[in-house]
Amino acid sequence: MSKPGSRQDRATQILHLLLQKGKGSIEELAAAVDASPASVRRDLIKLEERGLVNRTHGGAEVAGKMAYEPFRFDAAFPLREERFADEKRRIAMAAAAMVAEGDTVALSPGTTTTQIARSLRHRDGIHIVTSAVNIGMELSSLPNMRVTLTGGAIRWPGSFSMVGATAFDGLQRLFFDKLFLGACGIHPQHGLTVIESDEALILTEMVKHAKQVIAVADASKLGMISAMQVCLPKLIHTIITDGSADAIVLAAFEEQGVCVVTV
């Protein structure tokens, strides 16, 4: 275990700051961890060598976005990443804090679950299962991370979500300690919903194979209903959302026996 103030401890602090904010300058990071800019630069070099951050001119950002270079034709995902970006990062860090060493963790496709994957990149002893091509791609270069893709067909051009019979069959022998589900909508009576029927089928099957189902959604998704139901509220153990969520809606979820975490 590293001693307080050690280089490893400081690097971990820097990584957590970048996970919270997405990016930061050398000066901001140095002030936050009470270290010299030169020390922070050395830490960032080590973090970049581990594939956890990307150094930029005068600072650094969380690794991941540069991995989408082969998918430049799909502008939708980066745009969705920027919507409620701070809230999604806070939700992701709270979700990652629920994961224990040795867990098998399933991640549905989506921008919030992608942030969860980034918040777990530095962790050891975790098995990630996902139907999201981009999450598999982002984690594929990490020697400390075991990653399983469900397989399947890409839902539509530019989508990262794998669906179809192959994805469905691939889930049959898999079981998860925790499933983190993104949503298009999540309602106190109608549960978690998405737009596409083929994706709903895969996510519903994931729910059946999970010991614990955790919905991750910013406040804009709460109380909303999309076309296809994934699961009812009684199957959701926890909802992690941001602090701007409507208290009445949150109380309605709690009345259904759902644990609510706001960040």
- Residue 208 domain-assigned? yes
Domain that holds residue 55: 7-63
Kindly state whether residues 55 and 141 are assigned to the same domain: no
Number of domains making up the chain: 2
pLDDT band at 235 (very low <50, low <70, confident <90, very high): very high
Report the pLDDT value the prediction gives residue 4, as an integer from 0 to 100.
Answer: 43
pLDDT tens profile 12-67: 999 989 988 889 999 999 999 999 999 999 999 999 888 889 899 999 998 865 45
pLDDT tens profile 161-213: 999 999 999 999 999 999 999 999 999 999 999 999 999 999 999 999 999 99
> Cα(232)–Cα(235) distance, rounded to whole angstroms?
6
Report the pLDDT value the prediction gives residue 72, as an integer from 0 to 100.
Answer: 53
- Residue 201 domain-assigned? yes
Kindly state whether residues 23 and 103 are assigned to the same domain: no
Kindly state whether residues 169 and 256 are assigned to the same domain: yes
Report the pLDDT value the prediction gives residue 1, as an integer from 0 to 100.
Answer: 38
Kindly state whether residues 38 and 161 are assigned to the same domain: no
Per-residue pLDDT at 158 exceeds 90 = no
Q: What is the CA radius of gyration of the chain?
A: 18
Kindly state whether residues 23 and 143 are assigned to the same domain: no
Kindly state whether residues 113 and 145 are assigned to the same domain: yes
Report the pLDDT value the prediction gives residue 3, as an integer from 0 to 100.
Answer: 44
- Residue 168 domain-assigned? yes
Average pLDDT over residues 88-117: 97
Kindly state whether residues 117 and 40 are assigned to the same domain: no
* Angle ∠(212,213,217) on CA atoms, nearest 5: 145
Kindly state whether residues 20 and 108 are assigned to the same domain: no
One DSSP character per residue, the chain reads -PPTTSHHHHHHHHHHHHHHHSEEEHHHHHHHHT--HHHHHHHHHHHHHTTSEEEETTEEEETTGGGGGGGTT--HHHHHHHTTHHHHHHHHHHHHHT--TT-EEEE-SSHHHHHHHHHTTT-SSEEEEESBHHHHHHHTT-TTEEEEE---EESSTT--BEESHHHHHHTTT--BSEEEE--SEEETTTEEEES-HHHHHHHHHHHHTBSSEEEE--GGGBT---SEEEE-GGG--EEEE-TTS-HHHHHHHHHTT-EEEE-
- Residue 1 domain-assigned? no
Lowest mean pLDDT among 81-95, 208-222, 231-245: 81-95
pTM assigned to the model = 0.86
Strand pairing class (213-216; 153-154): unpaired
Kindly state whether residues 42 and 130 are assigned to the same domain: no
Kindly state whether residues 91 and 157 are assigned to the same domain: yes
Domain with 29 in it: what CATH number?
A: 1.10.10.10
Decide which of 33, 63, 93 is a domain's last residue.
63
